[in-house]
Amino acid sequence: MNPMEIKQNAAVSVLLLIFMFFTGGFDIASAAVFTLKNSCSYTIWPGTLSGNGVAILGDGGFALAPGGTIQLPAPAGWSGRFWARTGCNFDDSGNGKCATGDCGGTMKCTGGGVPPVTLVEFTLGSSGNMVKDFYDVSLVDGYNVGLGVQPSGGSGDCKYAGCVADVNGNCPKELQVVGEDGGVVMACKSACAAFDRPEYCCTGQYSTASTCSPTQYSQIFKAACPAAYSYAYDDATSTFTCTGSDYLITFCPTS
């Protein structure tokens, strides 16, 4: 092979490598895409938080109008959570507060949402299609809006997870968070947040799966939303897996 042919082949190889990188031809470029959809009748401000300190999605938070969607690609191995903030009012600098799910008075969250808040949590596989994703919808920190997760394009169990029911409408009075007018129930506290007792928080002598059992309050959440965490050790019916999937996350889903 003459020098000119060597140069030409090298150039082709470089172009091929560039093409594979940008089109996902390498396994290291594989990622899940989260599509967040607002099916609520009002604007929400989704918050995002990375659980492993990398890849902050959507700058940590943003506004999403009724009917709006946004796609957030995530790298393999990403871990974190999403939630809805409601009743927010931010100035031009992104400072303000939300009636529920507030994350420190800022549009772009750097910490989690203040309970009560409905969460969706993910841990993505770290080797592309070779490792399962784990996901769940959690009411352990209470409830503010309905939330559902639908996998697509993956393999394995890949079940729908979520809470479609209006928990606020059936929230016991002692757990209710009402608006400033004292009327509308905006969120439903967990029993842990409402009473701060070990048996509700799964702490102290109740800090293991064998000692922390469902309570009358967690059973209300579970009856309303069978496919969501109702208390800390509700793993058996609330954690789901899928491999190589993208995920549609819907706020205020309908049955």
Return all residues near 133 (Cβ < 8 A) that are at least 6 apart. 32, 122, 123, 124, 125, 154, 241, 242, 243, 245
CB distance 100 to 87 below 8 Å: yes
Strands of the 47-50 sheet, one edge to the other: 47-50, 79-83, 119-123, 133-138, 240-242
Longest dimension (CA), the chain: 84
The DSSP secondary structure of 106-172, one letter per residue, reads BSS-SSPPPSS--EEEEE--SSGGGS-EEEEEE-TT-BSS-EEEEEES-BSS---EEE-S-GGGG--
Per-domain residue ranges for the chain? Answer: 29-251
Q: How far apart are CA 122 and CA 80, in angstroms?
A: 6
Cα torsion at 45, 30, 227, 46 (round to 10°)? 0
Q: How far apart are CA 167 and CA 173, in angstroms?
A: 12
CB distance 146 to 86 below 8 Å: no
Q: How far apart are CA 153 and CA 133, in angstroms?
A: 13
pTM reported for the whole predicted model? 0.85
| The pLDDT of residue 22 | 37
Q: Which of 84, 45, 50, 79 is nearest to 63 (CA)?
A: 45
Which residue in the block uniquely carries the two structure tokens 């927010």? 88
29-251: what CATH class? Answer: mainly beta
Return all residues near 56 (Cβ < 8 A) that are at least 6 apart. 48, 50
| The pLDDT of residue 130 | 59
**CA angle (98, 185, 163) in 5-degree steps:** 85
Instruction: Give, for all 255 residues of the chain, the pLDDT tens digit.
Output: 444 443 344 443 333 333 333 333 333 444 799 999 999 999 999 999 998 777 899 999 999 999 999 999 999 899 999 999 999 999 999 999 999 999 999 999 999 999 999 999 999 998 655 589 999 999 999 999 999 999 999 999 999 999 999 999 999 999 999 987 767 899 999 999 999 999 999 999 999 999 999 999 999 999 999 999 999 999 888 999 999 999 999 999 986
Q: How far apart are CA 88 and CA 102, in angstroms?
A: 8
